[in-house]
Structure 1
Amino acid sequence: MNKLILARFAAVFTAGVLTACGMTGRKENGGDDIGASSAAAEPVMITAKGVKSDYSALSGECHGYGQGVQVDEKNRTLGALDFNHTYGKYSAKAINEDDKKITLTFDQGYENGYTAQILDTLKEKNVKAVFFLVQDYAERNPELVRRMIDEGHTVANHSVHHYSMPSLNEETCRTEITDFHEYMKENFGVEMTLFRPPMGEFSEKSLAVTADCGYETVLWSFAYADWNADDQPEPSAALDKLRKAAHEGAIYLLHSVSSTNAQILGDLIDGLREDGFEL
């Protein structure tokens, strides 16, 4: 499981954009063209229970998300804003346009020994974060998951098996979400409401199925190459990069397997607050 997830992350960030399903797009960290596809979507009716639609009318084309490097006058990444504009109808977002706070999110594919340190820092700095869990992680690390919950963080759904959602049929796509939902409800007493598609890969159909499961899809407006435990960014450079990327409503994607992230997290929080941001 761990090797599979690490290999998938490697494919993602080596290219600089999530392109495992053949999307041609802008590169996440310094390329030319980035952002979610702006292809037109079929009109969809959304109710309190999610999307009500004939899934056969929705595109199953796989898109790989990357926030890009181009920004507006508020330093907000255009790829994130474009995603909101194009796919918001599916209860999906990559940036909080109605909230000036910065949200820290951590993807939990496997445990590398730094999550407890990250939780210590968040507790010390009085910051609540969002942890996107794969089911295998929750099964193997119940003490850490319980601590996340008890300390007021949001635990969120990153699927059962970390498959590319657009590669699945409708029913399997649904069970990747709902089976883990039921596991967390039965074993931890929580009902998750946020979903991050593995590798940032999605289709109109997978977003619609996710919404129909009662979930909001949450991507990110900033991420950087922190995922490779054997090739970590230099701490001072990483801290500078993270602070310079700050913007209102930002959703930061970080990985808890990163020794750099664990090392600089306290300084990052202090720095963002010094820059006038609230977390």
Structure 2
Amino acid sequence: MKAGRITWVLLMAVTVSGAAGYLAEYSTVSSNVNGRELPICSVETEDAKVALTFDVAWENGDLPEILDVLEEEGVKVSFFVTGEWAEQNPELLKKIRDLGHDLGNHSQDHKSMTQLTYEEKREEISEAHERVKEIAGVEMNLFRTPYGNYDDEVILTAEEQGYYTIEWNIDTMDWKDYGKKNILNTVMGNEELGNGAIIRAHAGTKYMAEALKPLIQRLKEAGYELVPVSKLIYRTDYHMDVRGRQIKDEKNN
């Protein structure tokens, strides 16, 4: 098993009785399990929090309604947008930002990342990053792969560019257009629903906007606080299990 990313943060030098002393903080971050790189699919936490996320790549006719519902319910979520979508919808992009939601990278034009060369992978991530930065002034650091397709090189390439790769452990299945009731049952009846769950939804599906308010209300009634991914994941001192569950390392005192 690889050691993972290792970060040395040198703090200021201090002088005590003429002797220079240096303090260093040692932290480890590993996304490697049994020789395989994994994305963050959920988070181990004692807090009753879940993250609701939306992939935004093509149709967005329901996005204003989704944003209205989120505002009414006082909920912040994470939107993973393609660079191409951002270019075509600058005002909606800025509105997502202004309402306080996460903006995450969903690649430039939604290609399957595992089918690309290393350089093409880098370009898909960096182009989307620059588009969103130019339009909304946001430096994104959360990445979701198109179609949920990833391999070691995809995750490491995103990491090289300062990104945490975020997938999910609960899919609303809204993209199947089976109806509002199906979305609610799929999430609320999912055995993976629990503290630290990451739920995937989409903008532009037939029933998600209609299902959103009752879904949020049911999650709240079940005792969960809905937070954006940026408020759920650990940034340092963690490792992953085989399910892509992020686990905080215990620090030795």
TM normalised by structure 2 equals 0.73
Question: Which region of structure 1 is more displaced relative to structure 2, 117-126 or 107-116?
Answer: 107-116
Partner of 2:140: 192
> Kindly, what percent of the aligned residue pairs are identical?
36
- The answer to whether the aligner puts 1:132 opposite 2:77 as a matched pair is no
1:226 equivalent in structure 2:
174
Q: Greater shift after overlay, 153-162 or 84-93?
A: 84-93
Q: Distance in 1 between matches of 2:216 and 2:145?
A: 26
- Report the aligned-residue RMSD: 2.2
SS at 1:190 equivalent = coil
Structure ranking higher on relative contact order (CA contacts 8 Å, 6+ apart): 2
Structure 1 SS opposite 2:80: strand
Distance verdict in 2 for CA 1:151–1:91, change over 3 Å: farther
> 1:48, CA displacement in angstroms?
4.7
**Secondary structure of the corresponding residue to residue 105 of structure 1:** strand
Structure having the larger proportion of residues in strand: 2
Distance 1:162 1:87, change over 3 A: farther
Could you tell me which of 182, 203, 224 is aligned with 1:256?
203
Which residue matches 1:212?
160
Could you tell me how far apart the structure 1 residues matched to 2:48 and 2:33 are? Answer: 21
Amino acid in structure 2 at the alignment position of 1:276:
G
Larger helix percent: 1
- Aligned with residue 278 of structure 1, among 225, 245, 250: 225
Matched residue, 2:48: 100
Aligned length: 201
TM-score for the superposition, normalised by structure 1 = 0.67
**In 2 relative to 1, CA 237–169 (structure 1 residues): closer, same or farther, beyond 3 Å?**
closer
SS in structure 1 at match of 2:175: coil
> Whose Rg is larger?
2
* From 79, 83, 86, the counterpart of 2:33: 86
Distance 2:119 2:133 in 1: 20
Contact kept? 2:53, 2:198, Cα under 8 Å: yes
Tell me the CA shift for residue 227 of structure 1.
1.5
More displaced stretch, 177-186 vs 147-156: 177-186
